[in-house]
Amino acid sequence: MSEQSSQQDIVIRVRKLCNRFGNNEVHKNLDLDLYRREILGVVGGSGTGKSVLLRSIVGLVQPDSGAIEVFGQELQALSPDQRSRVERRFGVLFQSGALFSSLTLQENVALPLIEHARLSREDAEHLARVKLALVGLSANAYTMVPAQLSGGMVKRAALARALALDPEVLFLDEPTAGLDPIGAAAFDRLIVTLRDALGFSVFLVTHDLDTLYSTCDRVAVLSNKRVLVDGTLETVESTDDPWIRDYFHGPRGRAAQHTRTANSGETE
Ligand SMILES: Nc1ncnc2c1ncn2[C@@H]1O[C@H](COP(=O)(O)OP(=O)(O)OP(=O)(O)O)[C@@H](O)[C@H]1O
């Protein structure tokens, strides 16, 4: 990628980000870019600030200092109205799914369409059914409430809601946590298929090595309050660092690499 095209293709540019909670300094001068249409995996030990980074970008945490530029606009410089217009171009899937328990799936997905796109209830629920079909849920689930569904179906419904307003960037916080390996692998494939079809960029926080190997174009490793390394899996794997060694070259890392090699052999 040339210097010029890589500049144009950056959708999120984080520079010198600092976050602190009391005495706990979480980020210090953290730099990171997200490119258009890529799936970026953000990994790191527990407590290294992956979720705080995601929450800083989507506006749920106010950074202490630094710059977050989204679609070429510096977030801190925007008025609340301008900022909420930018945030409407995001879709966010939290670990819990965060669906309303008393609403059916189609009501849950229709909600942002009624609130932000000002659609009538009927139109919103029609579009909600389209989104639910897009994530692979069948029609009999649309009128169920979350408690009637499996964990994998709830994740899919939450993904449909995150996609309701056709986001340009999808943020996923531990999307496969709590899913069995088969459900997790199916969810990983769904993310790649949707990214290919819809062309959004993905900011993916995960501990799941299988997810990293099966979905990510690039990986960023958070360590010591900043991004230690970012690049392709090959670049990251070959970085000389104790955490990277344990994580990528331990038994689980080797198993995930092996699965990827086996799967790429199947498709050739
Ligand atoms: N609202 C908050 N108030 C105070 N401290 C917080 C808050 N949110 C996060 N932290 C602290 O910031 C640090 C980073 O938290 P974060 O949840 O981003 O870590 P993480 O890398 O996502 O961890 P994990 O992999 O365990 O989910 C932790 O020490 C956490 O306790």
What tens digit of pLDDT does each residue of 184-232 get?
A: 999 999 999 999 999 999 999 999 999 999 999 999 999 999 999 999 9
Query: Which amino acid, residue 13?
Result: R
**Using CA positions, which residue lies closest to atom 26 of ligand 1?**
46
Q: State if residue 101 touches ligand 1 by the CB under 6 angstroms criterion.
A: no
Query: Would residue 241 count as lying in a domain?
Result: yes
Question: What contacts 71, CB < 8 A, 6 or more positions away?
Answer: 11, 86, 89, 168
**How confident is the model at residue 248, as a pLDDT?**
87
**Using CA positions, which residue lies closest to atom 2 of ligand 1?**
21
Lowest mean pLDDT among 63-72, 88-97, 110-119, 143-152: 88-97
Query: Would residue 190 count as lying in a domain?
Result: yes
Query: Would residue 47 count as lying in a domain?
Result: yes
Distance CA 98, CA 221 (A): 27
- Give the CATH number of the domain where residue 260 resides: 3.40.50.300
- Which atom of ligand 1 sits closest to the CA of residue 52? 18
* pLDDT one-digit tens code per residue, 60-93: 999 999 999 999 999 989 999 999 889 889 999 9
ipTM value greater than 0.95:
yes
- Which atom of ligand 1 sits closest to the CA of residue 53? 18
Average pLDDT over all residues of the chain: 90
Query: Would residue 200 count as lying in a domain?
Result: yes
For 120-140, what is the mean pLDDT? 94
pTM, two decimals, is 0.91
Domain housing 251: 37-57+167-267
Between 253 and 140, residue with greater pLDDT: 140
Q: State if residue 42 touches ligand 1 by the CB under 6 angstroms criterion.
A: no
Comparing CA positions, the residue from 89, 97, 259 lying closest to residue 176 is 97
**How confident is the model at residue 74, as a pLDDT?**
93
* CB atoms inside a 10 Å sphere around CB 25: 13
DSSP string, 151-202: HHHHHHHHHHHHTTT--SEEEEESTTTT--HHHHHHHHHHHHHHHHHH--EE
Percent of the chain exceeding pLDDT 70 equals: 90
pLDDT-based confidence at residue 267 (cuts at 50, 70, 90): very low
Q: State if residue 49 touches ligand 1 by the CB under 6 angstroms criterion.
A: yes
Say how many domains are in the chain. 1
Query: Would residue 131 count as lying in a domain?
Result: no
**How confident is the model at residue 4, as a pLDDT?**
46
* Cα of 58 from ligand 1 centre, angstroms: 15
Query: Would residue 202 count as lying in a domain?
Result: yes
Residue whose token pair is 């106010």: 62
Query: Would residue 4 count as lying in a domain?
Result: no
Burial 86-99 (b: 16+ CB within 10 A, else e): bbeebbbbbbebeb
Burial 194-205 (b: 16+ CB within 10 A, else e): bbeeeebbbbbb
Query: Would residue 18 count as lying in a domain?
Result: no
**How confident is the model at residue 226, as a pLDDT?**
96
* pLDDT one-digit tens code per residue, 167-185: 999 999 999 988 888 989 9
For 90-105, what is the mean pLDDT? 88
Q: In the predicted model, is pLDDT for residue 3 greater than 80?
A: no
**How confident is the model at residue 178, as a pLDDT?**
86
**How confident is the model at residue 249, as a pLDDT?**
84
